[in-house]
Chains A and B, each alone.
Chain A
């Protein structure tokens, strides 16, 4: 789900940048650091605006100055039970991998309806019922997130298409 969220970030600045354009450096660094980053639980899509840049504070011992920046950003946070659209990246015999934005989701065989069978026709592996439904590389699927685990900088999720209205999207 997408949110607009106010976040804070502390940026150290090297003394060689102590000049009138210090703020520019801070902003550039903020965008570079944060946009597209994964905090573990959420993904920062875009920074909307910067609300406040604090007065810099020199850190004793290093000479660097620290700025506290508060900003608003669009973040995406997946939830257990949420239904999302995903792009299939890889099909293996035990299931398939899909990307939901920056999050990797694995849909295991037990979460795939039994009528979709694993086949290796013409060396391109896919789950198909030999009718209208085929899950192969680059196909779009709608999945329900069954579980999420966060690590620093990465999110793993388990998905399911074993439900009505889930599975490959008809293009």
Chain B
């Protein structure tokens, strides 16, 4: 190690004599050489009888701060040292490369001792923490490199990679609600089936008031098989934001023999950061052989090694009990209603919130239940509000308190029990009134299905139907396979390495060079990942709360990660619209009008793609297929059967003039969207046409084709078309530049004869301004309701089916307007309203069925 002169010396100094020569031993604080320096000194002058400053020369020893053998001396007698300089090389007997709690692990010396000659603390020599369970063991960079090399050799020999596994909501879910234990003891309980294999443990010095909290752990279905299989391909590590004791207990549950994870458990206590996870904590040198699975991408800063998995949400609304230290999970998209596709059922976006509004929907529910519903059931909303307040200045203590508080709250409020009670209350009502039965069905579907073992009315809240681990396992195996395929290719390619490998005795000794050339797992994953949604352009609608930037959302980030492009508005490149099944927004209609080119699917399609790491078939996930017929551009090759129902003659006869107007409007939209394709013939468009690049594409998908075989509605009113078109063209001349075909905005002057309608249109077509969109939708909602009323007046059963379907859409549209106000009250109100409609419909249906 180089020995430097210290900063505190009175530079310049002149070396006067060397005391040690190269080869000599030197102790700490032993002199290496002597030197002289000059400094001003205040002296009393006899003659003038006052103090004067005089330059004096002093002599001193330069002392070594480290012990060892002097290898080289870099100073000569007479040399003047002007600044900090390396004066000698000293070979130390111990480099203190591994330190434990401030002690050198190799020589046992105390590293924290500071002496007057010390320039750098010995503790600085080892600063890397690369062991799972301990923060007190630190190693130097060289040592970390050695350890890493060794680990890589070991992994390559056994053809494994490292897999870092998160616990909460990835392979297990925990909750602290005592209700679970009660359900477990009661085989009669509808939730018994689901909770019977929930494991429990008690942590004494944890939780509120340190009075021993019971934790109930549900492992994700198939976790044992998953880990067992993965252990063949990967060396498994646990990395969790929970406490050490908690992590150990979970490890005991998922890995009773400690065979899979061993001691490779890293918890919050050793992490060093309360809000983020870092691979560098475990793999300080490089992460070429590391894969992570976690349900949260943000805590890893979307590390390229991450395989993000959908969060496991078994205890509905509980979430991750250990996440109070993490940045808040973005709500809205993460929690999925169900993995099954049920487009015709109104689903709530957040399963956490699924019950209270639905329960409140029941018109016959006792007032007490209604008033209590939003308070008790929706604990998560409260949490979110608290968290929002806390988000910015999050002192650890506050967060720790928050976690305690959350746990206490969960134990006291028992959200699961409340939800189950609500479910049961609703079904009680159903027994009394057949009209409410439908509401219960709906409720049950919201709470994820029915219990087969219980009677028809005994619905269970919890369901054990998660099978994501299979898909994750397949992905991980694929990564492993590709990695070692690449590795084998690499090692046969480098000839020298191969030959030396074949030579006996050299088999295990891979050169350092070869280790540096091993394939890079993140790159391989990147390669697979970017192919998954390559060429897919997504638009989200109705799934993210208004006012939130879609690009800041987890889901958008996640999709982009897989090669998808995300935009705010529907453009000519858009291929998929991710919509909410219960809300037919303007964008959905817009997309429907674009024809088959855009698939309108629910979020589950995206999730399926993201978990399976491949572009899955959209067909089972398609929603709003009826939107195409409700909108003006009926599609010739639409596959769904519902369309037939909707376009029955009764339906179309029921249309009012107002509706025609609406359709007309939508025609306009159509026309506008594909303007550049069709407007070649009209004199207005020619000037602007030059700008657009994909005329061909637009012609291909443009509504001119659709028009030929559009829905009966349109054919019947065909005579109007000429007029309409003309009117349209008039407007379009001024209006079309607002269309979202992403053409360069030209400076068309807006003509004075702009009709009010086109102004309104402009609004809708504008920058995706949601507030405006809402206004329009509200109007349409009321029109739809009107249509519905009129349709109801007709008496054939066929119409009834048709109307009730169209009805559903109408209702949700009406509701949407309110829901989007972002306020809970409105949410509730809207849900109530929607349910009331539904209820009355059902009654009407009932009445009519009994008629013939």
The answer to whether A147 and B107 have CB atoms under 8 Å apart is yes
Report B772-793 CB contacts with A as 1/0, cut-off 8 Å.
0000000000000000000000
Q: Which of B101, B102, B112, B231 sits near A123, CB closer than 8 Å?
A: B231
Give the chain B neighbours of A157 by CB distance below 8 A: 103
The answer to whether B107 and A94 have CB atoms under 8 Å apart is no
Give Cα distance in the complex from A80 to B109, angstroms: 11
The answer to whether B98 and A149 have CB atoms under 8 Å apart is no
Q: Which of A122, A124, A158 sits near B100, CB closer than 8 Å?
A: A158
Instruction: Tell me, yes or no, whether B18 is within 8 Å of chain A by CB.
Output: no
Give the chain B neighbours of A147 by CB distance below 8 A: 103-104, 107-110
Give Cα distance in the complex from A36 to B105, angstroms: 27
Given contacts A108-B98, A154-B101, A158-B105, 5 further A-B contacts (CB under 8 A): A90-B263, A94-B137, A107-B105, A122-B259, A123-B259
The answer to whether B132 and A156 have CB atoms under 8 Å apart is no
Give Cα distance in the complex from A156 to B317, angstroms: 44
Instruction: Tell me, yes or no, whether B143 is within 8 Å of chain A by CB.
Output: yes
Give Cα distance in the complex from A105 to B110, angstroms: 14
Give the chain B neighbours of A109 by CB distance below 8 A: 98
Q: Which of A104, A124, A160 sits near B258, CB closer than 8 Å?
A: A124
* Stretch of B40-48, B147-155, B443-451, B572-580 contacting A (4+ beta carbons < 8 Å): B147-155
The answer to whether A124 and B262 have CB atoms under 8 Å apart is yes
The answer to whether B106 and A94 have CB atoms under 8 Å apart is no
Give Cα distance in the complex from A137 to B105, angstroms: 19
Residue of A at shortest CB range from B133? A90
Give Cα distance in the complex from A147 to B112, angstroms: 13
CB B67 to nearest CB in A, in angstroms, measures: 16
CB B281 to nearest CB in A, in angstroms, measures: 14
Q: Which one of B131, B236, B260 has the greatest number of beta carbons of chain A within 10 Å?
A: B131
Give Cα distance in the complex from A43 to B626, angstroms: 77
Report A94-109 CB contacts with B as 1/0, cut-off 8 Å.
1101000000101111
The answer to whether A125 and B100 have CB atoms under 8 Å apart is no
Give the chain A neighbours of B263 by CB distance below 8 A: 90-92, 125, 137
The answer to whether A111 and B106 have CB atoms under 8 Å apart is yes
CB A70 to nearest CB in B, in angstroms, measures: 31
CB B270 to nearest CB in A, in angstroms, measures: 12
Answer whether A156 and B101 are a contact pair too, CB < 8 Å, given A92-B131, A92-B132, A149-B110: yes
Give the chain B neighbours of A124 by CB distance below 8 A: 258-259, 262
Give Cα distance in the complex from A34 to B638, angstroms: 80
The answer to whether B100 and A108 have CB atoms under 8 Å apart is yes
Within 8 A of A (CB), among B132-161: 132-134, 136-137, 139, 143, 147, 150-151, 154
The answer to whether B136 and A156 have CB atoms under 8 Å apart is yes
Q: Can you list 17 A-B pairs, Cβ within 8 angstroms, ordered by A? A: A91-B263, A92-B132, A93-B151, A94-B105, A106-B101, A108-B98, A109-B98, A110-B98, A111-B105, A120-B262, A123-B231, A123-B236, A123-B259, A123-B261, A147-B103, A147-B109, A158-B108
Instruction: Tell me, yes or no, whether A77 is within 8 Å of chain B by CB.
Output: no
Give the chain B neighbours of A93 by CB distance below 8 A: 147, 150-151
Give the chain B neighbours of A120 by CB distance below 8 A: 154, 235, 262
- Please count how many residues in chain B sit with their CB below 8 Å of the partner chain's CB atoms: 34
Give Cα distance in the complex from A95 to B108, angstroms: 14
CB B635 to nearest CB in A, in angstroms, measures: 57
Give Cα distance in the complex from A103 to B131, angstroms: 19
The answer to whether B101 and A149 have CB atoms under 8 Å apart is yes
Give the chain A neighbours of B110 by CB distance below 8 A: 147, 149
Give Cα distance in the complex from A160 to B104, angstroms: 12
Q: Is the interface on chain A under 10, 10 to 19, 20 to 34, or 35 or more residues?
A: 20 to 34
The answer to whether B105 and A106 have CB atoms under 8 Å apart is yes
Give Cα distance in the complex from A109 to B146, angstroms: 13
Give the chain B neighbours of A156 by CB distance below 8 A: 100-103, 136
Cβ-closest 9 pairs across A and B: A147-B108, A156-B101, A146-B108, A108-B105, A106-B100, A158-B108, A110-B106, A123-B262, A92-B131
CB B799 to nearest CB in A, in angstroms, measures: 67
Interface residue SS majority, chain B? loop
Give the chain A neighbours of B108 by CB distance below 8 A: 80, 146-147, 158, 160
Residue of B at shortest CB range from A125? B262
The answer to whether A146 and B107 have CB atoms under 8 Å apart is yes
Chain B residues with a Cβ under 8 A of chain A:
98, 100-110, 112, 131-134, 136-137, 139, 143, 147, 150-151, 154, 231, 235-236, 258-263
Q: Which one of A91, A124, A156, A157 has the greatest number of beta carbons of chain B within 10 Å?
A: A156
Give Cα distance in the complex from A118 to B235, angstroms: 16
Give Cα distance in the complex from A82 to B826, angstroms: 74
Within 8 A of B (CB), among A14-45: none
Give the chain A neighbours of B132 by CB distance below 8 A: 92
The answer to whether B98 and A95 have CB atoms under 8 Å apart is yes
Chain A residues with a Cβ under 8 A of chain B:
80, 90-95, 97, 104, 106-111, 120, 122-125, 137, 146-149, 151, 154, 156-158, 160
Give the chain B neighbours of A80 by CB distance below 8 A: 108
Give Cα distance in the complex from A157 to B103, angstroms: 7
Q: Which of A91, A154, A158 sits near B103, CB closer than 8 Å?
A: A158
Give Cα distance in the complex from A81 to B711, angstroms: 95
Give the chain A neighbours of B261 by CB distance below 8 A: 123
Give the chain B neighbours of A158 by CB distance below 8 A: 100, 103-105, 108
Residue of A at shortest CB range from B144? A94
CB B194 to nearest CB in A, in angstroms, measures: 32
The answer to whether B262 and A106 have CB atoms under 8 Å apart is no
The answer to whether B103 and A149 have CB atoms under 8 Å apart is yes
CB A88 to nearest CB in B, in angstroms, measures: 11
Residue of A at shortest CB range from B102? A149
Give Cα distance in the complex from A160 to B150, angstroms: 23
Residue of A at shortest CB range from B143? A94
Give Cα distance in the complex from A95 to B420, angstroms: 52
Give Cα distance in the complex from A156 to B108, angstroms: 10
Give the chain B neighbours of A149 by CB distance below 8 A: 101-103, 110, 112
Give the chain A neighbours of B103 by CB distance below 8 A: 106, 147-149, 156-158
Give Cα distance in the complex from A147 to B103, angstroms: 7
Residue of B at shortest CB range from A160? B108
Give Cα distance in the complex from A158 to B108, angstroms: 6
The answer to whether B260 and A123 have CB atoms under 8 Å apart is yes
Give the chain A neighbours of B143 by CB distance below 8 A: 94
CB A142 to nearest CB in B, in angstroms, measures: 17
Give the chain B neighbours of A91 by CB distance below 8 A: 263
Give the chain B neighbours of A97 by CB distance below 8 A: 134, 137
Give Cα distance in the complex from A25 to B17, angstroms: 70
Give the chain A neighbours of B260 by CB distance below 8 A: 123
Give the chain A neighbours of B134 by CB distance below 8 A: 90, 92, 97
Give the chain B neighbours of A148 by CB distance below 8 A: 103
CB A156 to nearest CB in B, in angstroms, measures: 3
Give Cα distance in the complex from A94 to B105, angstroms: 10
Give the chain B neighbours of A125 by CB distance below 8 A: 262-263
Give the chain A neighbours of B112 by CB distance below 8 A: 149
The answer to whether A94 and B259 have CB atoms under 8 Å apart is no
Give Cα distance in the complex from A104 to B262, angstroms: 20
CB B809 to nearest CB in A, in angstroms, measures: 56
Give Cα distance in the complex from A146 to B106, angstroms: 9
Give Cα distance in the complex from A137 to B143, angstroms: 23
Residue of B at shortest CB range from A148? B103
Give Cα distance in the complex from A91 to B137, angstroms: 12
CB A146 to nearest CB in B, in angstroms, measures: 3
CB A153 to nearest CB in B, in angstroms, measures: 12
CB A105 to nearest CB in B, in angstroms, measures: 9
CB A149 to nearest CB in B, in angstroms, measures: 5
The answer to whether A106 and B104 have CB atoms under 8 Å apart is no
Give Cα distance in the complex from A75 to B136, angstroms: 25
The answer to whether B106 and A108 have CB atoms under 8 Å apart is yes
CB A92 to nearest CB in B, in angstroms, measures: 5
CB A106 to nearest CB in B, in angstroms, measures: 4
The answer to whether A94 and B147 have CB atoms under 8 Å apart is yes
Give Cα distance in the complex from A149 to B108, angstroms: 9
Residue of B at shortest CB range from A109? B98
CB B141 to nearest CB in A, in angstroms, measures: 14
Give Cα distance in the complex from A155 to B102, angstroms: 10
Answer whether A106 and B231 are a contact pair too, CB < 8 Å, given A123-B260, A158-B100: no
